Amino acid sequence: MMAVRAVNGCAIIRPSACSSPSLSSLFCCFHQLRPQTRSKLGFISSNCRFKLQFNGYAGKFGVFAVHSLVDSVLEELQERRRTRQIRASNRLVLTSSGELLKDKLEKQGLRGGLLLEFKKDSERVLLAVAQKPDGKKNWMVSDQNGTSCSIKPQQITYVVPGVENFDHTQISEFMQKAQDNLDSSLLELAWAELLEKNKSVTPEELAEMIYGIAEPLESYCAHLLLSKDEIYFSVLESKGYCSVYTPRSTDQVEELMRRKLAKETAEKEFQEFIDLLYSAKARSMDAKLPRSSWKSEDRICDRIEALAAYAVESFCSDTQKRTAGTILTAMGLAKTPSSALNLLIDIGYFPVHVNLDLLKLNIRTNHPEEIVLAAEDLLSESRDIDEIRRKDLTHLKVYAIDVDEADELDDALSAARLQDGRIKVWIHVADPTCLVRPGSNLDKEAMSRGTTIFLPTATYPMFPERLAMEGMSLKQGTKCNTMTVSVVLHSDGSITEHSVENTIIRPTYMLTYESASELLHLNLEEEPELKILSEAAALRLHWRRQQGAVDTSMIEARVKVANPDDPEPQINLYVENQADPAMRLVSEMMILCGEVVATFGSCNNIPLPYRGQPQSNIDVSTFSHLPEGPVRSAALVKTMRAAEYDFRKPIRHGVLGVPGYVQFTSPIRRYMDLLAHYQVKSFIRGDAPPFSAGQLEGIASIVNMQHRVARKLFSSSLRYWVLEYLRRQPKERKFRALILRFIKDRIAALILVEVGLQASAWVLVGSQVGDEIEVQVEVAHPRDDTLSLKHVPE
């Protein structure tokens, strides 16, 4: 059905299903009803407009009178219809015949004073008045903005007919009248008639149909309707700036309408999302939406994930990049990863101190459900296959020494003085292989992770947390399954006897490095074993140095952050001195254990991950002019080569000063240590090793890659929080720093003694390597990894 509504209240006419009057004649009738005046611009202006909406087609007219003028319309309708049909038949041709198409594409020559439309660039179309030729083909024009420019003929998209000597100052008025006269519903009516008759149309012909006249304004309005239309018409043929349009088929129109509706729906949803972002940004920090709320709907979640992927600059697909760019543009932000990151922080999706490296490296922070269930099954079974082969060492006093925030305790120490005066030490190591079998799902999960990741804000364990803490970790006062390496030392610190056994212990003390150092300093008579351990460590250090060991002890920062998701979380910073007595004691015992396991493996032909480090014939005496400690250690480290592996026999570890070395003391947190346990435990049981040397090498290549990722993440996270700590310090605070070396001119590498951080700064003339100076922090920006220090003269 077709409804014709006179907007200003003239009539409402609806056809029935019997006849099909011409739209041209219908519009002409309405045209007679509206007042018309000839404007000074040379076109017909209308004070009364009609808006038509097509709801079907065919029919006799049923009349619903609003004014008496409707009767006049109906009386003249048939006569007007016949006249307009004759005129239209002379112009409109069947698109299938191709007749008169050439006539429709007659090109009007350019001359001064013509009003034309041209493409300024890929996005802008402007109206202008032709001024004069510019060369052979180009024309100078004055556009709607009053700007003169030269255009090529190819840029012209339409020449408004019937206009001579148009004044460019009146372009704006012309454009406003055109906009007021546009009604896209008219196009639908024209499409219906033209489709039924299979006819093409030019803008001027369309103006005759829908406005009843083809004056300049109406012709331009028709051109705008056709050129901007994406539904009803397509260009049949163009010649220069003249175009003929043909109506699309009903199926095409329906499909385009469906697409248009889908596009409008998507645009509405997108705008709702942008409004949501603005609303979330406006909330205070303590009233931000929970992160889970952004994942409640797929359409919201997908856009947020696109922003997150773009912010992280990793694992971002092209689709996500486009989505993120569109969102940032709509928010008035630059299309950069930092803009995306700041937006996600502003809406509360990311905390202020989000660890980008954790996301970039795609670190898994949780274990899969099936792995957690497998761990729970092991805990409920609690079956030890080595139970009958375990030696009871619960009578020994056992010290477990680690950092105060350690969750997984892998190792502990015991010591005694034998009757002949020699020292015997026991290095007890947690025994996760009494629960986990090679090739099991838990083993594969641990191998894929490679290591426990320790960060200032969290710990991500290699094994599921409850299994690691309750089933594997050493616990004070509780019987624990362990692998124990026992060693008897010569008076010079060399090894005289050793053994590797399945054992059971009961840890006596759980000490931090600080408390252990304090006990050593107090030299309590009640703790002679701790004193013997210290003595053993001193013997071992002396012996290793005689074998060419290089002392690389440094000072390092250790940070723990409470409530890291808070905008201003509490930062607890400690400085570890590796030359500290307790740290030195533990380090020496771990090196001793590694040497014994390497010797045990060599004597019994066990394939193991033997670790070595070529010393490159370092002459330590050449560094004797440097102060002992961090300055000398830093210089020595610069000369060292990377560690190497051999999986068949021990190789010398020159830096440690031992003939062979196997990492063995952290099987809960390092998979390479766990591999060594598998191999040694199988030998003790009398079984063949589960892995050949070749298999170990293949596994090591995967695990070591994970180790490198974990080290990188640890280093970047530690540095971030140290910089954040420095950022919060008073500007006037001074820090002590040691000059490690000069990088270029007066730019020196430093280590900040109070925070254990290496940095660089310009130092005053006269400063030397090894000098202790004072510096102030000028700029500390953790997100940009920026630290600027100023040397403060004394």
pLDDT digits (tens, 9 = 90+) for 136-153: 899 999 999 889 999 999
- Provide the edge-to-edge strand list for the sheet that holds 125-134: 148-151, 138-143, 125-134, 115-119, 156-159
Q: What is the pLDDT of residues 423-474, one digit of tens each?
A: 999 999 999 999 999 999 999 999 999 999 999 999 999 999 999 999 999 9
Structure-token match 């030998």, residue found? 683
Region of poorest pLDDT, from 53-62, 584-593, 703-712: 53-62
The alpha carbon of residue 588 and the mean position of all alpha carbons in its chain are separated, in whole angstroms, by 43
- Residue of 778, 779, 772, 777 lying closest to 794 (CA atoms): 772
Is the model's pLDDT at 21 over the cut of 50? no
Residues 158 and 223: their CA atoms lie apart, in Å, by: 8
Q: What is the pLDDT of residues 709-750, one digit of tens each?
A: 999 999 999 999 999 999 999 999 999 999 999 999 999 999
Higher per-residue confidence, 59 vs 383: 383
Q: Evaluate if residue 22 carries a pLDDT over 90.
A: no
- Strand partners for 265: none
What is residue 288's DSSP assignment? P
pLDDT of residue 242: 87
For residue 542, what are its two tokens?
């002396």
Are the beta carbons of 409 and 402 closer than 8 angstroms?
A: yes
Highest mean pLDDT pick, 164-168, 241-245, 582-586: 582-586
Region 534-547: mean pLDDT is 96
Residue 638 is predicted with a pLDDT of 87
Question: What span, in angstroms and rounded, lies between the C-alpha atoms of 261 and 540?
Answer: 80
Tell me 286's DSSP state: G
Residue 62 has pLDDT above 50, yes or no: no
* pLDDT given at position 597: 98
R_g over Cα of the chain: 43
Give the pLDDT of residue 641.
84
Query: Sheet holding 495-505: strands in order across?
Result: 391-392, 495-505, 480-489, 423-430, 411-417, 399-402, 509-512
Tokens of 635: 């210089």
Q: Tens digit of pLDDT for each residue in 404-429?
A: 767 789 999 999 999 999 999 999 99
- At 614 the pLDDT is 79
Structural element, H or E, at residue 102? helix 101-104
Count how many Cα atoms sit within 13 Å of the Cα of residue 223 in the half-sphere of its side chain. Answer: 23
User: Measuring CA to CA, which residue among 275, 285, 273, 295 is closest to residue 346?
Assistant: 285
Give pLDDT, residue 194: 95
When pLDDT is cut at 50, 70 and 90, the band that residue 621 belongs to is confident
Query: What is the reported pLDDT for 104?
Result: 57
Q: How confident is the model at residue 107 (pLDDT cuts 50, 70, 90)?
A: low
pLDDT greater than 60 at residue 92:
no
Identify each DSSP E strand in 382-461 by its residue range.
391-392, 399-402, 411-417, 423-430, 453-454, 459-460
Question: Contact at 8 Å (CB) between 240 and 222?
Answer: no
HSE value, Cβ hemisphere, 13 Å, CA-based, for 531: 9
61-64 β-sheet, strand order: 50-54, 2-6, 12-15, 61-64
Alpha helices in 212-317 (DSSP H): 216-228, 250-282, 298-312
Average of per-residue pLDDT across 75-100: 44
Instruction: Decide the pairing of beta strands 399-402 and 509-512.
Output: parallel
pLDDT one-digit tens code per residue, 255-313: 999 999 999 999 999 999 999 999 999 999 889 999 999 998 999 999 999 999 999 98
User: Torsion-angle region of residue 407: left (phi > 0), alpha (psi -120 to 50) or beta?
Assistant: alpha
SS3 766: coil
Res 102: pLDDT = 56
Does residue 672 register a pLDDT over 80? yes
pLDDT at 757: 96
| Eight-state DSSP code of residue 159 | E
Token pair recorded at residue 549 = 């060991």
Percent of the chain with pLDDT over 90: 75
The chain-wide mean pLDDT, for the chain, equals 87
Range scoring the smallest mean pLDDT among 229-233, 310-314, 437-441, 696-700: 310-314
- Which one-letter DSSP state was computed for residue 153? G
Which residues, other chains included, contact 382 with Cβ-Cβ below 8 Å and sequence gap of 6+? 471
Neighbours of 112 (CB within 10 A): 15
Question: Per-residue pLDDT tens for 212-226?
Answer: 999 999 999 999 999
pLDDT for 110 equals: 86
| In the block, residue with structure tokens 């009007």 | 108
Token pair for 622: 């050449």
* Measured CA distances, 647 to 55, 598, 659, 661, 701 (Å): 83, 11, 15, 11, 12
Cα 293 to its chain centre, rounded Å, is 19
Residue 745: count other Cβ atoms within 10 Å of its Cβ: 8
- pLDDT beyond 70 at 24: no
**pLDDT at 385 (0 to 100):** 83
Q: Compute the residue count for the chain.
A: 794
Q: Give the Cα separation of 764 and 758 in Å (integer).
A: 18
**pLDDT > 50? residue 103:** yes
Residue keyed to tokens 């591999």:
675
* Bridge partners (DSSP) listed for residue 290: none
175 within 8 A of 159, measured Cβ to Cβ: no
CA distance 2 to 16: 9
DSSP 8-state class, residue 387: G
Q: What is the pTM of this model?
A: 0.76
pLDDT classification of 388: cutoffs 50, 70, 90: confident
Structure-block tokens of residue 50 = 């009609």
Q: What is the mean pLDDT of residues 15-35?
A: 43
Confidence band (pLDDT; 50, 70, 90) for 680? very high
Chain-centroid distance of CA 647 in Å reads 39
- 114-124 pLDDT tens trace: 999 999 988 89
- For residue 176, the tally of other CB atoms under 10 A from its CB is 10
Give the pLDDT confidence score for residue 32 in this predicted structure: 43
Q: Between β-strands 495-505 and 391-392, what pairing exists: parallel, antiparallel or unpaired?
A: parallel
Predicted confidence band of residue 74 (pLDDT cuts 50, 70, 90):
very low
Helices (H) and strands (E) in the chain, counts: 21, 31
CB count within 10 Å of CB 131 equals 17
The amino acid present at 323, given as its one-letter code, is T
Alpha carbon 184 to its chain's center: 44
Lowest mean pLDDT among 7-11, 403-407, 529-533: 7-11
